[in-house]
Amino acid sequence: MLRSITIGDLLDETASRIPDKEAVIYKERSLRYTFSQFRDVCDQVARGFLSLGIQKGEHIAIWATNVPEWVISQFATAKIGGVLVTVNTSYRVHELEYLLRQSESTTLLLIDSFRGVSYLEMIREICPELDECEPGQLRSARLPHLKNVIYIGEERQPGMFLWRDLLERGAAVPDEERAARQRELHPDDVINMQYTSGTTGFPKGVMLSHNNIVNNAIKVAECQRLGMEDRVCIPVPFFHCFGCVMGTLACVATGATMVPVITFDPGMVLSVVEEERCTALYGVPTMFIAELNHPSFAERDLRSLRTGIMAGSPCPIEVMKSVVEKMGIREITIAYGQTESSPVITQTRPDDSIERRVSTVGKPHDDVEVKVIDPVTGETVPPGVQGELCTRGYLVMKGYYNMPEQTAKVIDEEGWLHTGDLATMDEDGYFRITGRLKDMIIRGGENIYPREIEEFLYTHPKVLDVQVVGVPDPKYGEQVLACIKVKPGETLTEEEVRTYCEGKIARYKIPHYIQFVSEYPMTASGKIQKFKLREQAIRAFGLEAADSIETA
């Protein structure tokens, strides 16, 4: 049965029911909140946001790793109707500016840096006006909507509030003001916006409502049999639905304890699971592989583990066997979906066989419709026949922000979301993902749309033309290949191309393989055949073995 409740009310409900139960544990920060303590700090930060004049429906972007302030902000913004815009931690200047401008965010929260790259330097590059303005008074030429920048750190920064300013300002705002705003909110309001390359074009802001993600979190939890005695280790990033819907929100919905890891490190994950007696563990297959191969793995006591979720890319059967047998996660589930579907459409169940958990992505959640259609005729195909997977129900996004034409391309008049993924359904209602209609690349769980990289590489003065495709990779599932035509009379090296990308696009989008070509394989009508570029690259780079793994 579907619930009609806002995220703020859901937290209040759980905190009232089990106030002294541990809600959040950060081993790395020696930080623990009970549900009542977590609710109280979220309320205080919510009042801090109100003190900045933030209105219902305003967009608040957060650019940070899985720090405590991230999850507090998730629930604090939800309590005042602010729309949380999640920013990929790998973004660079080009992508950050695009997201903040397209989302019309008025507020940005950010940490100092990630993996040696300074976030502060990047936002100052985009908004040099920060050096001269008072906090909350930003007037940016490049980002006209952005007014507030909040630094999640201790050292005072020009033009920015500090996180502690938010707490102090919140303490001065009457809680009745926050409660009154919370009462105004409706479960069908948009509350979360995540940027995805989707199936076409540049990154688009997927608008998700309280109803979308609360109910999806509940369904995800039910498939794992999560309850208030569970402790869920969350090393996947919060900026994805995997972290902030399947992770944090599923815990609040069930009363389970969330045990986040700030940035993925296999040794830290193993320590957290062992010391906090976690019962559930999340990850993409590459994360589980790293944990299983960690030098200390054999000495770890992981007997507390029972369930969890593996998602993001297909799981090799030997990895699944090791997760079940060596890690002891006998009830691990596989989930499939996309940001546009809040995110999970189908999921395996704890009592499914290992073979089923490896070869399929499970059955649809309750209250979710799924069909496989012929992409040409639109007719539903019978079991065993490949077609495009479509879904309908509470889980379908409200649309792409300020992109009605793009929304209409993926949600039809009858409310069906067209995923762009090719699938088959067996006689028992289990689905298998067999490919993609479009040429989106999935590298280690990250969606990469080739056109975005192509458009960026076109800005290189020596590039005449470029085509980007995905090629198989045994570790990440896929890697990025750029096939480049160089302008006549110019010379260009692989190193020059990669150097040009550094600091401008996320590292995972930088082409792993680069080929310089004189021509592209074409159809009779003049369309470039990307599948042939992929086939040629598989032969040229000796990737046949990786291709057989991917298609097995």
pLDDT tens track for 109-159: 999 999 999 999 999 999 999 999 999 999 999 999 999 999 999 999 999
> 339: closest CA among 205, 154, 177, 488?
205
> If you count DSSP H runs as helices and E runs as strands, how many of each does the chain have, helices first?
19, 28
Could you read off the pLDDT of 166-178 as tens digits, one per residue?
999 999 999 999 9
When the pLDDT of each residue in the chain is averaged and rounded to a whole number, the result is 94
Residue 545: which CATH number?
A: 3.30.300.30
Q: Give the model's pLDDT for residue 211.
A: 98
Give the pLDDT mean for 474-479: 92
Residues whose CB is less than 8 angstroms from the CB of residue 86 and which lie 6 or more positions away in sequence, other chains included: 61, 62, 192, 193, 194, 195, 238, 239, 240, 244
pTM: 0.86
Q: Which of 37-51, 262-276, 320-334, 537-551 has the lowest mean pLDDT?
A: 537-551
Could you read off the pLDDT of 279-318 as tens digits, one per residue?
999 999 889 999 999 999 999 999 999 999 999 877 878 8
Give domain status of residue 63, yes or no: no
Q: Give the model's pLDDT for residue 451.
A: 79
Residue 414: which pLDDT band, with cuts at 50, 70 and 90? very high
Q: Give the model's pLDDT for residue 503.
A: 94
Q: Give the model's pLDDT for residue 546.
A: 74
Give domain status of residue 7, yes or no: no
Could you give the number of structural domains in the chain? 1
Give the pLDDT mean for 181-189: 98
User: Which has the higher per-residue pLDDT, 107 or 521?
Assistant: 107
Q: Give the model's pLDDT for residue 549.
A: 46
Give the pLDDT mean for 341-365: 95
Give domain status of residue 448, yes or no: yes
Q: Is the pLDDT of residue 44 over 50?
A: yes
How far is residue 464's CA from residue 486's CA, in Å, rounded to a whole number?
A: 5
Give domain status of residue 59, yes or no: no
* Percent of the chain's residues with pLDDT above 90: 86
Q: Give the model's pLDDT for residue 469.
A: 93
Q: Give the model's pLDDT for residue 526.
A: 59
Six-digit token pair at 526? 């003049």
Residues whose CB is less than 8 angstroms from the CB of residue 264 and which lie 6 or more positions away in sequence, other chains included: 235, 236, 237, 287
Q: Is the pLDDT of residue 198 over 60?
A: no
Residues whose CB is less than 8 angstroms from the CB of residue 376 and which lie 6 or more positions away in sequence, other chains included: none
Give the pLDDT mean for 497-512: 96
Q: Is the pLDDT of residue 200 over 80?
A: no
Could you read off the pLDDT of 202-252 as tens digits, one per residue?
789 999 999 999 999 999 999 999 999 999 999 999 999 999 999 999 999
Six-digit token pair at 355? 């073979």
Structural domain span for residue 469: 443-551
How far is residue 396's CA from residue 342's CA, in Å, rounded to a whole number?
A: 7
Give domain status of residue 509, yes or no: yes
Burial 41-61 (b: 16+ CB within 10 A, else e): bbbbbbbbbbbbebeeebbbb
Whole-number CA gyration radius for the chain: 23
What is the residue whose two structure tokens read 């073995």? Answer: 545
Give domain status of residue 10, yes or no: no
Q: Is the pLDDT of residue 448 over 90?
A: no
Q: Is the pLDDT of residue 551 over 50?
A: no
Give the pLDDT mean for 9-29: 98
Residue 369: which pLDDT band, with cuts at 50, 70 and 90? very high
Q: Give the model's pLDDT for residue 197.
A: 66
Six-digit token pair at 302? 């992981």
How far is residue 485's CA from residue 497's CA, in Å, rounded to a whole number?
A: 12
Q: Is the pLDDT of residue 9 over 70?
A: yes
Give domain status of residue 220, yes or no: no
Give the pLDDT mean for 42-64: 98
* Percent of the chain's residues with pLDDT above 70: 97
Q: Give the model's pLDDT for residue 527.
A: 63
Give domain status of residue 241, yes or no: no
How far is residue 322's CA from residue 283's CA, in Å, rounded to a whole number?
A: 14
